[in-house]
Amino acid sequence: MDLREFLDKVKELGELKVIEGANWDLEIGAITHLMARKGNSPALLFDKIQGYKPGYRTLALPGASQKRANLIWGLPLELRGPELVRTLKDKLNEPIEPVPPVVVREGPIMQNIYHGDEVNIFMFPAPKWLAGDGGRYIGTGDTVITRDPDEGWINVATHRIQIHDESTATIFHEAGKHGDIIRRKYWSKGQSCPVAVTLGGDPYHVERGRGDIRIPWGMSEYDYIGWFKKKPIEVIEGPVTGLPIPASAEIVFEGEMIPPEVESRMEGPFSEWTGHYSPPRPESAFKVKCILHRNDPIILAELPFFGVGGGGMPNFGLWNHLDKLVPGVKGVWTRLEFGGPHAIVISIKQLYGGHAKEVALAALGCHNYNKKFIIVVDDDIDPSNINEVLFAVGMRSSPESWDIVRDCWSGSLDPLLSPQKRELGDLTHSAVIILACKPYHWIKDFPPLVKSDPKIEERVKEKWPDLL
The range of the structural domain enclosing residue 71 comes to 3-300
Is residue 463 one of the residues assigned to a domain?
no
Residues 6+ apart with CB under 8 A from 300: 3, 59, 62, 140, 141, 142, 199, 200, 201, 203, 206, 250
- How many helices, marked H, and strands, marked E, lie in the chain? 12, 25
Count of structural domains, the chain? 2
CA dist., res. 410 & res. 425, Å (int): 11
Q: How large is the average pLDDT for residues 295-320?
A: 74
Q: Angle 222-9-249 (CA atoms, 0-180°, nearest 5)?
A: 35
Strands 102-103 and 234-237: parallel
pTM: 0.79
DSSP letters for 64-76: -SHHHHHHHHT--
Q: What is the pLDDT of residues 228-269, one digit of tens each?
A: 999 999 999 999 999 999 999 999 999 999 999 999 999 999
Is residue 22 one of the residues assigned to a domain?
yes
Same domain, yes or no: 70 and 200: yes
Same domain, yes or no: 157 and 180: yes
Would you state the pLDDT for residue 310? 47
Q: What is the pLDDT of residues 66-120, one digit of tens each?
A: 899 899 988 899 887 767 777 887 887 788 899 999 999 999 999 999 999 999 9
Output DSSP code: residue 208. Answer: H
Q: What is the pLDDT of the chain when averaged over all its residues? A: 90
Is residue 306 one of the residues assigned to a domain?
no
Beta strands in 199-315 (DSSP E): 234-237, 244-246, 251-257, 264-267, 270-271, 277-278, 281-293, 298-300, 312-314
Same domain, yes or no: 63 and 201: yes
Is residue 164 one of the residues assigned to a domain?
yes
Is residue 419 one of the residues assigned to a domain?
yes
Would you state the pLDDT for residue 58? 97
Same domain, yes or no: 415 and 436: yes
Q: What is the pLDDT of residues 333-376, one digit of tens each?
A: 888 777 667 889 999 999 999 999 999 999 988 866 788 999 99
What is the Cβ-side half-sphere exposure of residue 45, based on CA atoms within 13 angstroms?
A: 19
Same domain, yes or no: 200 and 277: yes
**Quick one: how far is CA 430 from the chain centroid?**
23
Q: Which of 273, 300, 327 is the last residue of a domain?
A: 300
The DSSP bridge partners found for residue 115 are 290
Look at residue 305 and tell me whether its pLDDT is greater than 70: no
Confidence label for 304 from pLDDT (cuts 50, 70 and 90): low
